Amino acid sequence: MKDSNSLGLIVGEHPDRESWAHPDEAINLRLWLRLATCSTLIENALRGSMRADFGTTLPRFDLMAHLSRSPRGMKMSELSRCLMVTNGNITGIVDQLERDGLVERNKANTDRRSSVIMLTPEGRQYFRRLSEAYRARVAELFSPMDNEAQNDLFALLAKLKEAIRPQCQAINEAPR
Amino acid sequence: MKDSNSLGLIVGEHPDRESWAHPDEAINLRLWLRLATCSTLIENALRGSMRADFGTTLPRFDLMAHLSRSPRGMKMSELSRCLMVTNGNITGIVDQLERDGLVERNKANTDRRSSVIMLTPEGRQYFRRLSEAYRARVAELFSPMDNEAQNDLFALLAKLKEAIRPQCQAINEAPR
DNA sequence: TATTGTTATACTCTATAACTATA
DNA sequence: TATAGTTATAGAGTATAACAATA
């Protein structure tokens, strides 16, 4: 049986973030809302896994993931750019991970203002388990989609990213 | 000039959420991270616009958007499903909008447990201005991408949504 | 003067669980 | 018994702005 809203109209089996945009709306609006819906669905699933199985969060995972690829560490400002959040947030997340013994701060030799963040051996081991579960969950989620479609989608999203980046940058560099 | 990380390696002009996933990673992981990156870029841009120009937030916009398509109102539980968040959150957002005179709660005739949320005339007028700005911003962001690519992307995301939905639902219905 | 990172503040969103009032 | 919504709690992320240390 189909769901219906208060109007009694059929709105589809699964109302979600994009269901307010009718078919006559501009394709760009519908596209964005569908993108947001997919992203929310996946993010909710992954957040749940990370929390239930490891008691950790997505931003913490993201930060460790970047560190895991930079054996010699990363500066706070690099992490800020990679995670696409402001500097103060990175301080907070690094604080938590440091408290848990998963990362460490070291003063940079060249520039004494900046510190270099690295995974500790424990952090490295912990992240290995974490990322295994993460990868498994992502693989499971995407498994019903055939490989060709995934590759097409990957390529189209590259196009999209290229299209929006300059404008998003302009925003971030706007006067405040 | 290209950016480089602490290792001195070229990491691309614009490090972001997907830059830790190397080309030899599974396509599903790379795809998810790119999706997340695009979603974050756009969401940050829109959040900034909504905040700077109207002092409001994306969840509030989303909620009003759904209401704007349901002239006779929506139940709290319907809103919860549409925004893909839990019930308590909807109470909070509706509280704020009600305080600002943008929405109103009415008791349902049929079931006195539930209330029906509607935009007030002021809310309707306010949302019109809001959504104009929102649509313009989205249109601007997507404008460098040709229409055919947008349509292809839209269709592929439908496939993705169909693929992940059953699993995401299973999660939401799992015992707690 | 500009940059790196921290601190302090305030706000928003989020999930969970206990609760009420209805059904 | 089950459902609709609220309340209370706790925690996480976020931006902004002011600040210290260094470049």
pLDDT for position B118: 96
Substitution target in A13, A106, A143, A150 with the highest count of B β-carbons within 10 Å is A150
Count of domains in chain A? 2
Residue in chain B nearest A143 by alpha carbon: B163
- With respect to residue A66, please indicate whether it lies within any of the assigned structural domains: yes
User: Which residues 90-109 in chain B show a CB within 8 A of chain A?
Assistant: none
How much is the pLDDT for A107?
Answer: 86
Q: What is the pLDDT of residues A127-176, one digit of tens each?
A: 999 999 999 999 999 999 999 999 999 999 999 999 998 888 766 555 33
Per-residue pLDDT tens digits for A59-76: 999 999 999 999 999 999
Q: For residues A100 and A71, state if they share a domain.
A: yes
Q: For residue B173, is pLDDT > 70?
A: no
Please tell me whether residues A49 and A115 are part of one structural domain.
no
Query: pLDDT per residue over B115-149, tens digit each?
Result: 999 999 999 999 999 999 999 999 999 999 999 99
- Could you tell me if A51 and A89 lie in one domain? no
Instruction: Please tell me the predicted confidence (pLDDT) of residue A13.
Output: 73
Q: Rounded to the nearest 5°, which phi and psi values hold at A109?
A: -70, -40
The whole-number average pLDDT for the span B45-53 is: 89
Residues A63 and A114 occupy one common structural domain: yes
- Which of A31, A55, A79 represents a domain boundary (last residue)? A55
Closest by CA to A69, choosing from B139, B20, B108, is: B20
Buried b vs exposed e over A161-176: b needs ≥16 C-beta within 10 Å?
bebbbebbeebeeeee
The model's pLDDT over B66-87, given as tens digits with 9 standing for 90+, comes to 999 999 999 999 999 999 998 8
B25: domain range? Answer: 1-55
Q: Is B3 left (phi over 0), alpha (psi -120 to 50) or beta?
A: beta
pLDDT per residue as tens digits for the range A11-26:
457 899 999 999 999 9
The answer to whether B59 CB sits below 7 Å from nucleic acid chain C is yes
Residue B30 sits in the same domain as residue B51: yes
Tell whether the model's pLDDT for residue B12 goes beyond 60.
Answer: no
Residue B145 lies in a domain: no
Give the domain CATH number at B101.
1.10.10.10
Q: Are residues B97 and B70 in the same domain?
A: yes
Residue A115 lies in a domain: yes
Task: Say whether both B76 and B124 belong to one domain.
Answer: yes
Same domain, B64 and B119: yes
- Across the range B14-35, mean pLDDT stands at 94
Residue with tokens 């060249």: A110
